[in-house]
Structure 1
Amino acid sequence: MTADGNVNAFKTKPAHLPFRPFFLAAAVDAMLGAGGWLPSALGIHAFGATAISAGDWHRDLLLFGMVPAVLTGFLLTALPRWTGRQAVLPRTTYLLIVLWACGRLAFLSLPPSFGLACSAIWILALLLIAARVVIAGRDHRNLKILFLLAAFCGSNVLVAASYQVEFALRLALASIIGLVIIIGGRVVPALTVAYVESAGGRIVLHRSASRERAAALLTMCALCLWVAAPETQLTGLACALAAFSQAIRAAQWKGWRGLSSPTVLGLHIGYGWIVAGFAFLAIHIFAPAMLGRATAVHAWTIGAIGTMILAIMASMIRKHSRVAFVPSAPATGALAAMTASCLFRLLIEVAPGYVGPLASFSGTLWIISFGLFLTAYRGVLLGVGVK
């Protein structure tokens, strides 16, 4: 590792690591998705060679491009360990890489529906592979991951067919937030404990089973109600209760014990944006003149999903590189840039007269954050120096 914390010289044990190509693809998609939309935020409306608006490009490359790429890399790597099954074979990874590449080529050269259809096939393939691992391992705990993947795949199909698009987009976002809550609930406390103990400290997390179940039930109800009836008072109440229950859940993980580790801190901040998103939705529903729905949506998409993606990808790379908590200046900068990106986007609500500059700052910082991520971990993701 270089003196400035750049993690290009990571050494990993000889193994097939499925996350490598997909984390690389996700970072590229993240930068292209924001980069293609950024000119419109600056008032430049000429866009691209394909018959697709800047907003749809931004949506499709991020929600149905970047996010499933991260999910693919993470689940192919983590599920065998979670279920006790054999690691995913390299040919499985190659198949999914080919499906991803077909989707990208179709998206860039054909009507958008073709690219979205390829994305749906890719997500369906991931669902079937994950289902085989989970069912073979009789791992009932991970059935909820399969359910949410199926819902996400269904939302992709609906968008590709241009049917009930607004409903489908809410379903897609709710599915991803559900997956982030499940994965975060495993990764965040585990990494917090590992960091404190690696630093010579001692930490015991008292996680109440009843609070966990209550948070899961209230959150599931809130997400389902928001997908089906996004503006009703019942949905607002459910979102408020979900925000409260998730805040209580996250407090059990003692995030303040990991303040000196940027990766651990980033995970807690990312999870905190989930709580904020539910709270903002409740405020919007009960007082729509005070807060727009876009504030809650961007708290989830930029704050929660963006930050958690960076932190979880970094933690998985570091774990398999045997340098779990070695500081990295570019990686820390990536998390800081993502936080700033979210804050600039949320400022639009209180300074509507500066929509253009604030949106462009937010998009630029998003691109910078993933650029810094690639700077920090390009050696591992490209396999440079890894045997």
Structure 2
Amino acid sequence: MGADGNFTVFKTKPVHLPFRPFFLVAAADAILGAGGWLPSALGTQVFGPTGISAGDWHRDMLLFGMVPAVLTGFLLTALPRWTGYRVASPHTTHLLILLWACSRAAFLLLSPSFGLTFSAIWVLALLSIAARVVIASRDRRNLKILLLLAAFCGSNGLVAASYQVEFALRLALVSIIGLVVIIGGRVVPALTVAYVESAGGQIVLRRSASREYAAALMTISALCSWAVAPEAQLSGLACALAAISQAIRAAQWKGWRSLSSSTVLGLHIGYGWIAVGFAFLAIHIFAPAMLGQATALHAWTIGAIGTMALAIMASMIRKHSRLAFVPSTPATGALAAMTACCLSRLLIEVLPRYAGPLASFSGALWIVAFGLFLTAYRGTLLGAGLK
């Protein structure tokens, strides 16, 4: 069973694995995005020759750099299994990598808006590639992925144009969380079953259709209402209901059965942060003096997106290396560092006096997490290590 939740396996060594370059650049963007922001904790507010603020650099490199890189590598590799259609040739992969390189060069040499424009073109290209195979295969299940990619592409364009930036950033975030909910709903239970059975155990996941539909409805309502009216009481209620429904959904997957596999456990932990983020947003809306919005958003951006990115990339790499559940100390350390990174950032709400050191420590742990990821998988990502 693959990281995409499909039982089809390669009978021969695949000649083209598009996740390789994109997972590499995703890790690079993650490290550079946090590294460029860290000096701001010491009072340096501007980063790079284009004069971009450290905060904007951090935001743009992670939200519109790391995230689309992970999505590109994952979808180009998973969609052929989901649809039965070939998605990307090496030339297509090279074109998308070129767009990534143009985006980075524009960020550093021209202006942030030019960098974001190239990033939007990159996401639009990914959307068109995915739409072609989804429509050709008449795969209705993946239409929601296309809709979320379109929303993310639109948000990228709005930020590039400096138009309705706050709304655009919320739209980008809810699009990503929506994609994590969909992809996680396929990957997490599938890998949990595969792991337990590979260890000689038996497991049956009884997934209630009514609970799945309820979770989908509550989540869509919460994401849409928060994107449009982030401080409205109705949005708070929707977020509270989404938190409960997502927690119930995740409990069906029996994450406690994967305690001895760091990769599978990391998927469960990452998905669990989605429910925590919804709960924190609800608390912020109903009692803003008790909890800041930034805390809730970092539960999503670090806890859910950061952890799920590491775990999903690791599971796909391991699958293609024929080492799906073999322990890896650096990979385990990467997930532990990401969890500590998120907890450190959330502690700022409790210990505001130590906000600077905690933020710096959290940023350093983020870099450590992706550095350990590269240490664990650099062989496969650079073209070696496939069996």
For normalisation by structure 1, the TM-score amounts to 0.96
Residues 332-385 of structure 1 show CA distances to partners (whole Å, capped at 9, x for unaligned) of 000000000000000000111111100000000000000000000000111135
User: Which amino acid is the alignment partner of residue 329 of structure 2?
Assistant: A
Residues 306-337 of structure 1 show CA distances to partners (whole Å, capped at 9, x for unaligned) of 00000000000001111100000000000000
User: Which amino acid is the alignment partner of residue 307 of structure 2?
Assistant: T
Partner of 1:78: 78
What SS does the corresponding residue of 1:200 show, helix, strand or coil? coil
Structure 1 segments (4+ residues) deviating >4 Å: none
Partner of 2:347: 347
**Displacement of 1:90:** 1.4
Unmatched 5+ stretches in structure 1: 1-11
**Displacement of 1:41:** 1.4
User: Which amino acid is the alignment partner of residue 76 of structure 1?
Assistant: L
Is it true that 1:89 corresponds to 2:93 in the alignment? no
Is it true that 1:146 corresponds to 2:146 in the alignment? yes
> Counterparts of 1:13 and 1:39 in 2: how far apart (Å)?
44
Partner of 1:100: 100
Unmatched 5+ stretches in structure 2: 1-11
What SS does the corresponding residue of 1:206 show, helix, strand or coil? coil
What SS does the corresponding residue of 2:16 show, helix, strand or coil? coil
**Displacement of 1:87:** 4.7
What SS does the corresponding residue of 1:355 show, helix, strand or coil? helix
**Displacement of 1:94:** 1.1
Residues 219-274 of structure 1 show CA distances to partners (whole Å, capped at 9, x for unaligned) of 00000000000001100000000000000000000000001100011000000100
Relative to structure 1, the CA distance from residue 47 to residue 89 in structure 2 (aligned partners, 3 Å threshold; closer, same or farther) is closer
- Asked if the contact 1:50–1:111 (Cα under 8 Å) also holds between the matched residues in 2, the reply is yes
> Counterparts of 1:135 and 1:206 in 2: how far apart (Å)?
31
> Counterparts of 2:116 and 2:45 in 1: how far apart (Å)?
23
> Counterparts of 2:144 and 2:293 in 1: how far apart (Å)?
27
Partner of 2:197: 197
> Counterparts of 1:234 and 1:267 in 2: how far apart (Å)?
30
Partner of 2:8: none
Relative to structure 1, the CA distance from residue 46 to residue 125 in structure 2 (aligned partners, 3 Å threshold; closer, same or farther) is closer
**Displacement of 1:66:** 0.4
Partner of 2:159: 159
Kindly report which structure 2 residues correspond to 1:212-291, keeping only aligned pairs within 5 A, or say none.
212-291=212-291
- Asked if the contact 1:37–1:58 (Cα under 8 Å) also holds between the matched residues in 2, the reply is yes
> Counterparts of 2:87 and 2:130 in 1: how far apart (Å)?
12
Partner of 2:380: 380
Relative to structure 1, the CA distance from residue 309 to residue 205 in structure 2 (aligned partners, 3 Å threshold; closer, same or farther) is same
What SS does the corresponding residue of 2:194 show, helix, strand or coil? helix
Kindly report which structure 2 residues correspond to 1:117-156, keeping only aligned pairs within 5 A, or say none.
117-156=117-156
> Counterparts of 1:24 and 1:53 in 2: how far apart (Å)?
25
Partner of 1:49: 49
Higher RCO (Cα < 8 Å, 6 or more apart): 1
User: Which amino acid is the alignment partner of residue 308 of structure 1?
Assistant: M
For normalisation by structure 2, the TM-score amounts to 0.96
Greater mean deviation of Cα atoms: 326-335 or 84-93: 84-93
> Counterparts of 2:22 and 2:48 in 1: how far apart (Å)?
25
Residues 5-31 of structure 1 show CA distances to partners (whole Å, capped at 9, x for unaligned) of xxxxxxx92420000000000000000
> Counterparts of 2:306 and 2:151 in 1: how far apart (Å)?
21
What SS does the corresponding residue of 2:349 show, helix, strand or coil? coil
User: Which amino acid is the alignment partner of residue 187 of structure 2?
Assistant: V
Residues 33-90 of structure 1 show CA distances to partners (whole Å, capped at 9, x for unaligned) of 0000001013334532222100000000000000000000000000110011125211
Question: Percent identity of the aligned residues?
Answer: 83
**Displacement of 1:91:** 1.2
User: Which amino acid is the alignment partner of residue 151 of structure 1?
Assistant: A
> Counterparts of 1:385 and 1:205 in 2: how far apart (Å)?
33
- Asked if the contact 2:215–2:245 (Cα under 8 Å) also holds between the matched residues in 1, the reply is yes
> Counterparts of 2:315 and 2:126 in 1: how far apart (Å)?
22
Residues 173-215 of structure 1 show CA distances to partners (whole Å, capped at 9, x for unaligned) of 0000000000000000000000000000000000001110110
User: Which amino acid is the alignment partner of residue 166 of structure 1?
Assistant: E
User: Which amino acid is the alignment partner of residue 95 of structure 1?
Assistant: L
- Asked if the contact 1:42–1:357 (Cα under 8 Å) also holds between the matched residues in 2, the reply is no
> Counterparts of 2:45 and 2:156 in 1: how far apart (Å)?
26
Partner of 1:358: 358
Is it true that 1:168 corresponds to 2:158 in the alignment? no
Q: CA RMSD in A?
A: 1.0
What SS does the corresponding residue of 1:170 show, helix, strand or coil? helix
What SS does the corresponding residue of 2:52 show, helix, strand or coil? coil
User: Which amino acid is the alignment partner of residue 122 of structure 1?
Assistant: W
> Counterparts of 1:157 and 1:217 in 2: how far apart (Å)?
27
User: Which amino acid is the alignment partner of residue 223 of structure 1?
Assistant: L
> Counterparts of 2:37 and 2:289 in 1: how far apart (Å)?
27
**Displacement of 1:386:** 4.9
Aligned length: 376
User: Which amino acid is the alignment partner of residue 33 of structure 2?
Assistant: G
